[in-house]
Amino acid sequence: MTPPPSTPVARTALSFGTWPSPISADLVAGATLGLSDVRADGADIYWIEGRPAEAGRRVLVRWRDGVTRDMTPPPFDVGTRVHEYGGGAYTAAKGRIVFSNRVDGSVWLIDGDGAPRALGGMDGLRFADFALSPDGRFVFCVREDHNTGGEAAAAIVVFDCGTEADPTDNGGTALVMGPDFLASPRPSPDGRFMAWVEWDHPNMPWDATRLRVASLLQEGSDMPRLAAPWTLAGDDGTARSVIEPRWTADGHLLASSDISGWWNLYRFDIADASPAVPVAPMQAEIGLPQWIFGLRSYCPLPDGSILALAIRDGENRMVILRDGAATPVDLHFPTQCPVALSDGTLAWLDTPPDDAASVVRGMPGQSPTILRRAISLPMATDDISHAQALHFPLSDAADGTGHAFFYPPANARYCGVADTLPPLVVMAHGGPTGRANPAFSFKVQWWTSRGFAVVDVNYGGSTGFGRPYRLRLEREWGIVDIDDCIAACRYLIAQELVDPKRIVIRGSSAGGLTVLGALARSDLFAAGASLYGVTDLRALAQETHKFESRYLDSLIGPYPQDEDTYIARSPLAQAADIHVPVLFLHGLDDKVVPPAQADEMARALRQRGVACAQYEFEGEGHGFRKEATVRRALELELDFYRQVLGLPTAQDGEHVVLR
């Protein structure tokens, strides 16, 4: 799966940051498929394929007996906007597929190899996190209703897969309503019970949730209903995140809880009231922040063991859990836990550090078979920079340690000029409850192959390091994240790995706030790039969508009680302290961070004589999908850094206009 070894050549010495690169903008933007959400039904393997050449349309693809087929023809776009970020846009079981069409939110059914048939939908309704009943007759899912006149209302609903529906007038039959948020409706294998997760404002799903179960009743031709619901975890006044409920074949319920300080698996026996039993306690995360639906951190296997993805120090490790112990297993580089096929093999999305993502099939200890590549890399081994786990000193972390991944410049044909050091691109991930990981990424290699070094910082608040590390950002967003990015830079400078006078910082969404705050707080940075970044916390608290509308309560404080803190932490109030150029890139259809935030920030900087450039993209939301947008954004950002760092810019193409 790795690129071919480099043919030894004498490297040409060129200034860092100016190297010709095998990674073109066309390669990243137009030729690379977005692969995600690998699932299995019997021996069939499914995944979603995002195609930039089709304006980012997402296609459901099936692999069966060596043959790959598109299951959703144009104009279907498999996706959902529940919680704005979506996920869990389809399910497949017993030869049936149910999926959401992102364009209008409607729900569709595919039987066998037939054409899609409408199950339901209605203006203002969105659906996600589908699960078929054991007999395949019904499908359960989360519904988000935007017709309420106020905050969108959540529900778990059921559709009858045998009913011919008017796709414009069928919102499903509601089973659960009331909580602010609902997720993971999962029927038991015998069809007698339903489990789900719920939580309320101001919590996010990584703060505190409840695991609920109810009897699932269905008589004759009637629609199913729930009876006598009870809470299995999360109702004892202890803040804990319980996520990813999943049933074993023998009727036990598993879920991941961070009550120990780490997301670990627990087994629940719903037949009695006995306490949940830890499956295999460990100081590693078996769980991911539930920004999207349908995430998978573990998979029960037919022999009673559990395959799990355990994250430690921000890096993925596969383990088998059996008899209270965790045994490492070699399964290459899954980005989520693999799924089990009926023939005993496994399928997963493989994300190695030295190659682009692939959908693969295989077994532990063997080289997996590639079913679909995101792209065949036109690169030699020496063109690829490998992540180096970076641990640097901090004053406030429990163990005094900060975390990042450092990528030195890498190019098979070029090296830096003697006695010089590379410029550094600092990356602040989004979320801020998210994480950097060492999988191959064009976001990194675009820079390293041109002679830039990159440091991708897992600042306080990142996942993969336990709940206490995540809580470092509580009431401290705009302080701890910035301090950690600065500490990582100072460590690299002290190690003489980067040029201290040529450091730039970039971030998207929440990372944009970190970028702008860092520019105001420190003179380390020569420039910054904010991609659809937060600039006004008060506006974000008042305008953002439901899922994140109370997120700032934990990151900053309750609003409006702590309004002064919101003002002080907002980059908009810090504009007078920024003295270096800034690049803003934003989608005009962004509903998470409206483009007005970038407008206000750019205006405030220009009024103070700070050079900045602002580019807006029609038809783009919170994140860029279209081929033309991705290409242009990459080229603009590269030109911007070269301008501000005094490096030669390309002779042709568009140049950033700073004013």
User: Can you give the pLDDT at residue 644?
Assistant: 97
Interhelix angle 480-494/510-521, nearest 10 degrees = 60
pLDDT of amino acid 651: 82
What pLDDT is attached to residue 547?
A: 96
Query: What's the mean pLDDT when you consider all of the chain?
Result: 94
Instruction: Give the span between the Cα atoms of 44 and 368, in whole angstroms.
Output: 16
Q: Are strands 253-257 and 242-247 parallel, antiparallel or unpaired?
A: antiparallel
Residue 274 has pLDDT above 90, yes or no: no
The band of 167, judged by pLDDT with boundaries at 50, 70 and 90, is low
Tally of CA atoms within 13 A in the half-sphere of 307 that contains its CB: 22
Task: Report the DSSP pairing between strands 453-458 and 424-428.
Answer: parallel
Closest Cα partner for 657 from 638, 639, 645? 639
For residue 556, pLDDT over 80 is answered with: yes
CA dihedral 148, 153, 158, 160 (to 10 degrees): 20
Confidence (pLDDT) at 398: 72
pLDDT recorded at residue 219: 80
Q: Flag whether pLDDT at 2 surpasses 90.
A: no
pLDDT of residue 599: 97
Mean of pLDDT values over 501-515:
97
* 260-271 per-position pLDDT tens digit: 999 999 999 887
Q: Computed from CA positions of residues 439, 131, 199, 232, in that sequence, does the dihedral angle turn out positive or negative?
A: negative
Structure tokens at 509: 């969404």
220 pLDDT more than 90: no
Tokens of 307: 């395959």
Mean pLDDT confidence for 287-303: 96
Helix (H) or strand (E) holding 520: helix 510-521
% of the chain beyond a pLDDT of 70:
97
Q: What are phi and psi of 453, to 5 degrees?
A: -90, 155
Omega prior to 432 cis, within 30 of 0:
yes
Distance CA 525, CA 142 (A): 44
Q: Please list the residues that pair with 159 across neighbouring strands.
A: 139
79 and 99 Cβ atoms separated by less than 8 Å = no
Question: Quick one: tokens of 183?
Answer: 């997720």
pLDDT at 237 exceeding the cut of 80: no
- Among 372, 352, 291, residue whose Cα is nearest residue 60: 372
Q: Delineate the domains of the chain, giving CATH numbers in brackets.
A: 380-645 (3.40.50.1820)
Residues above pLDDT 90, as percent of the chain = 88
Q: How confident is the model at residue 485 (pLDDT cuts 50, 70, 90)?
A: very high
Taking the C-alpha atoms of residue 376 and residue 31, their distance in angstroms, rounded to an integer, is 9
Over residues 206-227, the mean pLDDT reads 92
> What is the model's pLDDT at position 29?
85
DSSP element (H, E) containing 611: none
Beta-bridge mates of residue 51: 57
Sign of the Cα torsion 256, 324, 131, 294 reads positive
**pLDDT at residue 4, as a whole number:** 55
Q: Which residues pair with 521 in a beta bridge?
A: none
Q: Mean per-residue pLDDT for 618-638? A: 93
pLDDT category of residue 53 using cuts at 50, 70 and 90:
confident
How does residue 55 score in pLDDT terms, banded at 50, 70 and 90?
confident
CA distance 601 to 344: 55
Q: What is the pLDDT of residue 305?
A: 96
Tens digits of per-residue pLDDT, 144-156?
Answer: 999 998 999 999 9
- What is the arithmetic mean of pLDDT over 283-296? 96
3-state secondary structure 168-220: CCECCEEEEECCCEEEEEEECCCCCEEEEEEECCCCCCCCCCEEEEEEEECCC
Two tokens, residue 626: 């279209």
Under 8 Å between Cβ of 446 and 23? yes
**Two structure tokens written together for 586:** 């934003």
Confidence category of residue 222, pLDDT binned at 50, 70, 90:
confident
**For position 7, what pLDDT does the model report?**
54
pLDDT in tens, 305-364: 999 999 998 899 999 999 999 999 999 999 999 999 999 999 999 999 999 999 999 999
Question: Which residues does 495 contact at the CB level (< 8 Å), separation at least 6?
Answer: none
pLDDT tens readout for residues 127-147:
999 999 999 999 999 999 999
Q: Is 288 helix (H, G, I), strand (E, B) or coil?
A: coil
pLDDT at 447: 98
pLDDT digits (tens, 9 = 90+) for 569-603: 999 999 999 999 999 999 999 988 999 999 999 99
- Please tell me the distance from the alpha carbon of residue 566 to that of residue 574, in angstroms, as a whole number: 12
At position 157, the amino acid (one-letter code) is V
Length, in residues, of the chain = 659
* Per-residue pLDDT at 280 exceeds 90: yes
Q: How far apart are CA 330 and CA 324, in angstroms?
A: 19
Averaged pLDDT, 470-479 = 96
Q: CA angle 272-277-280, nearest 5°?
A: 155
Three-state SS annotation for 8-49: CCCCEECCCCCCCCCCCHHHHHHCCCEEEEEEEECCEEEEEE
Tokens found for residue 10: 């004498």
Q: Read off the pLDDT of each residue in 85-92 and give the average, rounded to a whole number.
A: 97
Convert the pLDDT of each residue in 379-423 to its tens digit. Answer: 999 999 999 999 999 987 778 899 999 999 999 999 999 999 999
Other CB atoms closer than 10 Å to residue 210's CB: what's the count? 18
- Two tokens at 332? 């290459």
Closest CA to 299 of 34, 38, 99, 63: 38
- The answer on pLDDT for 23 being more than 80 is yes
For residues 630 and 53, give the distance between their C-alpha atoms in angstroms, rounded to a whole number: 11
